[in-house]
Structure 1
Amino acid sequence: MIRIAKMSDTKIALSEAGLPSFTAMPVLGRGKGHGDLEKAADVDPEHHELISEMPRLKSKRMITLVVTDEKKDLAVETLIKANQTGKSGDGKIFVIDTVGSIRVRTGESGDETLD
């Protein structure tokens, strides 16, 4: 999950790293919401219903990038380098094992479908 504003940098970085194939989708989400909690601390207890409205969902991009085990570290490093600002909201990377893959057009399966 990354900031929308970092999408262009991410595309370039992945391409330059030899990882040009991925899927990106618009998503909504939120993290811990520290900024929203700080605002909520000043809310009068009689108006606590306002607190539930404060942690708003933010627009992000979810990138799905499936790579071989050998390219996993390169992919993670590239995503971090392209998206890290040091500020809350930089994003999150989930590394998940994939059971397999099949190229629909040819019926090939396994790692060769990822290149």
Structure 2
Amino acid sequence: MKLITAIIKPFKLDEVREALSDIGIQGMTVSEVKGFGRQKGHTELYRGAEYTVDFLPKLRLELAVSDAQTEQALECLCNAARTGKIGDGKIFVTTIEQTIRIRTGEQGDNAL
């Protein structure tokens, strides 16, 4: 099992969710986060004063997938979240040692 963590632009969420749903991914966790990378923020004009926004709003998606679904999920995420512009985000993949569904006690892939 793998844990896929993706940082994406907020307006791409619906497109990503639909694409993942189409390949059978049943659930994910979404968190609103702020951060920066190569984009390094931007400047904005507010009431005549210019100020720098260092941390940009992003979404953090976390989804647990079976080893068999990992490559398909990664390809799907990349295609759905890509705009081709700086700040599209990153995807991290980590190994999950154990998964347990609290309600039923199911373990491993069955708990996904």
TM-score, normalised on structure 2?
0.81
Contact 1:33 1:55 in 2 (8 A): no
Residue matched to 1:24 = 30
C-alpha separation in 2, matches of 1:67 and 1:76 = 10
**Structure 1: 5+ residue stretches without partners:** 40-52
Aligned residue identity for 1:110? G
Mark the structure with the bigger radius of gyration: 1
1:97 corresponds to which of 75, 95, 98: 95
Deviation at 1:2, TM superposition (A): 0.5
Aligned length: 99
Residue matched to 1:43 = none
Give per-residue Cα distances to partners, 1:21-44, cap 9 Å, x unaligned: 1111101111123675xx8xxxxx
Stretch deviating more after TM superposition (53-62 or 72-81): 53-62
1:82 corresponds to which of 77, 80, 103: 80
The verdict on how the C-alpha distance between 1:107 and 1:101 changes in structure 2, with shifts beyond 3 A counting, is same
Residue matched to 1:47 = none
C-alpha separation in 2, matches of 1:86 and 1:69 = 28
C-alpha separation in 1, matches of 2:20 and 2:96 = 20
Contact 1:27 1:62 in 2 (8 A): yes
Contact 2:41 2:55 in 1 (8 A): no
Give the 4+ runs in structure 1 shifted more than 4 A: none
Give secondary structure in 2 for the equivalent of 1:66: strand
Structure with higher strand content? 2
